[in-house]
Structure 1
């Protein structure tokens, strides 16, 4: 058979099969027959996990197998052709949809795809002719492979955006559990049944509601999976459910196949860009108590930096009020510590710059900061020699000098007068001496008063300086005390990050180095006897 004749036969077969073909009704012989669709999927890539909008974006290669009773032929009449590629939009395809989808809808008109926004599927049916495939996420409708006995294999690629409830309790050391639930949207389980591929890996079990389920440990093919730079795939199982939606659909069951993802976040990025910088910034709160100047400015700067980190966290996580993320708890605790350090810095600065002329230490403060706490903190105050005693000694020396130098001279003059043989003028000298002595005594008295005033001034200044030194020492005690306390608290707050269970999770990511493909490897797995008698 030449190529031209083969192409003519294939074209003729295509025309004969689709002549009068109606892709709307189910391709079955009897109305009571149940059409079984085998469903499998290959996970190609985890594109994104949007924590803020709680959306999981994945790239899948679906594989669907069913039997179309209207697409059968005798290979001997068409040159031995046993398979034929037919565009999927020209034949009946299952109306499989992702139940928990979070994406804009698409309308398929022939070969074109029109993005129209988030509207109801029932509105689409009234406005646009769309493919019976029904799944708006399949934007490229590939050809279906049809066998001569009616078996159909369709493997469309798709990008799905599914809703995934994000648990931010242990962010950024978190694990997420996401689901992708596929099922026929309009057909109940009595019309279209879903089975998992391959059937030899299916295990029967019972779910938490006591219903029979068919599960697979490895629910998707991982042969072509590209590992994510942000997430590790810990497990990917699947289960087939038969669910009754009594509230909307009556007593009819709907069959779905649900894929369960367990994703563990790779922590290197957030550890290097969030955890380590924030921890280093929190350590700066202890350095505040080493500073003597600009303590308050430094504390406020740290508080501003932590606020920036908090804004970054708000931009990442979903706006939920159910739980505070672990990193959020760490940030809040650190911000509280920084705020407390600012308040303590204000008190310390107030102590350090207190004047002895305006502030006097109360007995309990003196006992606490000058006697009790220094012993506990192993701090000793160097007590300077009291200068007031020196001032008093100097004052005594000055008075003695006056008495020794002035009064003896006057007495000496008076003695000389007494030894004089001429006693005529004795009375005169005595009167002059008394007047001179009285005058000089007044001068000496005034001089001594001035000396006492100067000495008292220096004594008061020395006492005030000593009191100021005591306040400075009390400020040093506060700095040393809270340096130790905040060092312990910073280590304690870091322990918050060690509470995450995923840190102690020893499970390894799924091994994708070997082929784990659970699909039909491009071959048909449905026996024709299941559909044709």
Structure 2
């Protein structure tokens, strides 16, 4: 037989032995060797030199977010931890056991770091469960991948709602071991977000991990940023509220003599009140902070109330008789509104023609009185140049209030959006 064939045959024998040689008997012998022959004790730190520190590598893959509770200041998330360390008492020679390079061991049989969530809001419980296994390599490297639902504290600031951004963290600590015995380190990918992660209200970004020593305890802080999706709030709160308050402003465009002005204003105000009760569940129920959106809604309600009050006062003034003297500054503002509207002023001749047209249906005495009154009005008009009545005053109030309130609403909306989106 050629030498090359002999070498090839020898290699095939080695490979066959390595691959197919891991029989059930080999695995039984390996378990017996590790946990009986060597007398493995899970209560002893797995270091030949007990003065050495055990380095525990931690990684977290966040797979889901149940949500943020603004009232409880709590984040509920789901993830898989990858915890690694070296156990000096769990090592063997693979060739002695059919080439076995690793075994899976129930987590209750070996030493594990007593990791707990330091900022958790639920009762302490062991990570994983009795049904879970740890993978141990022949060099003694142990890998533990427990699944965990994290209920953790998270300080939530809703000032910029619904454009707010929150930063929440998960703090893991070796609860019964200080930094001199167990040292927590960051893994290669210490904090990751699952690529299939999806949530209807939040998006996750910027995962980071930091290791600190807190009161002689080794702590790893796993942080993630949460950005609220504002679309549902813009479409269901901000835009409808803006439409309602603009409708309320159009109260000032209705004539005072129409008889529907007050009822229209009351109807729109009631619509705003009912709408607020509908959207109450969409607003964050917390007293820790006040959002700009809540201030904006409160301002809209105040403006609606003010519009209702001004409308009632305007209707009262509209029915005042000419016996009440109109202050000069009111006349000036009224005439200014005519100028701004490019509307011609009302002169005394219009009233003279009115008076003359009524002479045919009045008695001689009434004519005499009307003529005298018209002389007085004419004399007044000659001095003032333009006639201003209380009905003109209320029209001027409507003109000024329409543009004033429209300006306030548009400005407040722009400020609210600007401050909220600057988060």
TM-score, length of structure 2 as denominator length: 0.79
Which of the numbers 287, 310, 316 marks the counterpart of 1:319? 287
Between the aligned partners of 1:265 and 1:182, the Cα distance in structure 2 is 26
1:458–1:236 Cα change, 3 Å: farther
Which of the numbers 269, 273, 294 marks the counterpart of 1:328? 294
Between the aligned partners of 2:334 and 2:298, the Cα distance in structure 1 is 35
Give the equivalent residue in structure 2 for 1:235: 206
Aligned: 1:264 with 2:177: no
Answer whether contact 1:299 1:342 (CA < 8 A) is retained.
Answer: no
Give the equivalent residue in structure 2 for 1:479: 398
**5 Å matches for 1:275-290?**
275-290=238-253
**5 Å matches for 1:94-493?**
94-102=113-121, 104-105=122-123, 107=125, 134-135=126-127, 138=128, 142-198=132-188, 219-222=190-193, 224-243=195-214, 245=215, 253-292=216-255, 293=260, 294-305=263-274, 307-308=276-277, 311-312=280-281, 314=283, 316-320=284-288, 323-352=289-318, 354-356=319-321, 360-364=324-328, 367-368=331-332, 370-380=334-344, 384-386=350-352, 387-391=354-358, 451-452=364-365, 470-493=389-412
Structure 1: stretches of 5+ with no match in the other structure? 108-133, 199-217, 246-252, 396-449, 464-468, 506-533
1:57–1:325 Cα change, 3 Å: same
1:164–1:139 Cα change, 3 Å: farther
Answer whether contact 2:165 2:226 (CA < 8 A) is retained.
Answer: yes
Larger Rg: 1
Q: What does the per-residue CA deviation read over 1:248-268, in whole Å, with 9 as the maximum and x for residues that have no partner?
A: xxxxx2111112212222222
Which of the numbers 103, 124, 139 marks the counterpart of 1:84? 103
Q: What's the CA shift for 1:32?
A: 1.2
Between the aligned partners of 2:142 and 2:311, the Cα distance in structure 1 is 77
1:476–1:33 Cα change, 3 Å: same
Answer whether contact 1:238 1:260 (CA < 8 A) is retained.
Answer: yes
Q: What does the per-residue CA deviation read over 1:126-172, in whole Å, with 9 as the maximum and x for residues that have no partner?
A: xxxxxxxx34xx46852100112322111112121211111111111
Aligned: 1:39 with 2:58: yes
Between the aligned partners of 1:355 and 1:58, the Cα distance in structure 2 is 67
SS for the counterpart of 2:212 is strand
Structure 2: stretches of 5+ with no match in the other structure? 1-16, 377-387
Structure possessing the higher relative contact order (Cα contacts under 8 Å, 6 or more residues apart): 1
Answer whether contact 1:285 1:302 (CA < 8 A) is retained.
Answer: no
Between the aligned partners of 1:382 and 1:233, the Cα distance in structure 2 is 66
TM-score, length of structure 1 as denominator length: 0.64
Q: How many residue pairs align between the two structures?
A: 385
